Amino acid sequence: MSLKHPIPFVLLLGATLSAGWAEEEVTLTIDQVPDPVKAAILKAADGAKIAEIEQETEDGQVVYEAEWANADGKTETEITISADGTVLKTETEAVDEHVDGEHDDGEHGDADAKK
């Protein structure tokens, strides 16, 4: 099979394939997530104020990520939960305050940030 214009074909194919793998993120409140997800978040947070909840599609599966600051004031926790309430991953990392008040997400070479 011979293609007269292989470059546009390759670009179109790449765009089509990448669209299928794109992650979508939607910010939600605790009252907007399914009941099993809400229960898992509240149990894991153990009374901490939830800073953020996002619904994402990863590899075709809907998951929820919630984040909160821990009582020690030095760490924050992020939890990933499936739509049925199963905890898939929990990460606790150091809160690194910057001058502008935003915190580091631990992905800037700080090997001790993730536990």
User: Is 62 a domain residue?
Assistant: yes
Mean pLDDT score across all residues of the chain? 79
Q: What's the pLDDT tens digit per position in 7-54? A: 655 555 555 554 455 567 999 999 999 999 999 999 999 999 999 999
- CATH number, domain containing residue 114: 3.10.450.360
Count structural domains, the chain: 1
Assess if residue 73 is contained within a domain: yes
Task: Give the pLDDT confidence of 46-96 residue by residue, as tens digits.
Answer: 999 999 999 999 889 999 999 999 999 899 999 999 999 999 999 999 987
Report yes or no on 83 lying in a domain.
Answer: yes
DSSP 9-63: HHHHHHHHHHHHH---EEEE-GGGS-HHHHHHHHHHHTTPPEEEEEEEEETTEEE
Distance from C-alpha of 11 to C-alpha of 13, rounded to nearest angstrom: 5
Task: For residue 102, give its domain range.
Answer: 23-115
CA dihedral 40, 45, 50, 54 (to 10 degrees): -40
In 3-state terms, what secondary structure has residue 8?
Answer: helix
**Residue 13 belongs to a domain:** no
